[in-house]
Amino acid sequence: MAGSGCETVVTEYHKRPSFYRMASDKELVDEYVDARGHRVVFVEDGPLPEEQRRIDEAALAREEAKRLERARIRSEAIRAGKPIPPEGLEPEEPQAFMAREVLDDGSVVMRALLPDHVLANTMTSLRNQEYVQLWEQVVAESTKRQYAAEGMGVEDFVRYCTKNRSELMMTLNRMSFGYYGGSDVVLDRLPDLSVRMRFSNKIASQFKFREIYVVQERDGLKLAGIR
């Protein structure tokens, strides 16, 4: 219920499956005022506000109980003069995902959860001429096997990158620029669940390399090829 001055408005929430909207020939309203003067609001595919409040409160209560239990374990360990066991320690804050991380020893670790991470890591590696790291950490195992089947390896890959570096950088730069908006870069989900990023017909003729293939492997997304 909500009050405005002396007037009280009763709000009722009702669940409505989202497929109703897709199946309906008419535009469905999300809320209306009925003959009683009550405000009726539809919630699609999710908990009602009161249900969400109870869910949130239960989650907070569980976290508070865990915090108190950790405090109890720490207190007992300290009183007994013993080391604090792992279950008594506060959990560490989750670290933000880093697609490219430079470690203290200067080595580079590259990871990819999204296709644009693969774009960024490939582009940075080419810019820095880190061809071996690109091969070892970004290139897909399936692509390495294809190289091996043709009697080639990392040395051939380095020569390929060195020879085509400028044209590859042009493609990667433009792909990155158009990845999140516009119609110049098209993302296709292929039957084998790989992703193809390609230029639209409008600009494809401007580039030597026009398509980038990304595949999912056990440790994240990898670069399958640039064509």
> Contact 198/183 with Cβ under 8 angstroms?
no
What's the pLDDT score for residue 13?
76
pLDDT tens string 84-102: 888 888 887 777 889 999 9
- Amino acid of residue 38: H
Residue/partner pairs of 142-146 with CB below 8 Å, 24 or more apart: 142/215, 142/224, 143/222, 143/223, 143/224, 143/225
pLDDT band at 170 (very low <50, low <70, confident <90, very high): very high
- CA torsion, points 96, 99, 102, 103, in degrees to nearest 10? 60
Q: Taking the model in full, what pTM does it have?
A: 0.60
> Contact 166/209 with Cβ under 8 angstroms?
no
Could you give phi then psi for residue 138, rounded to 5 degrees? -110, -35
Q: Spell out a b/e string for 150-174, using b for 16 or more CB atoms within 10 Å of the CB, else e.
A: eeeeeeebeeebeeeeeebeebbeb
Beta bridge partners of 108: 102
pLDDT tens string 120-151: 999 999 999 999 999 999 999 999 999 999 99
For residues 96 and 216, the model is more confident at 216
DSSP states along 66-107: HHHHHHHHHHHHHHTT-PPPGGGSPPPPPPPP-SEEE-TTS-
**Would you call 91 exposed, middle or buried from its count of C-beta atoms within 10 A (0-12, 13-18, 19+)?**
exposed
- Amino acid of residue 152: M
pLDDT band at 108 (very low <50, low <70, confident <90, very high): very high
pLDDT tens string 29-71: 777 788 888 888 777 666 667 777 888 888 889 989 998 999 9
Residue listed under structure tokens 């042009």: 170
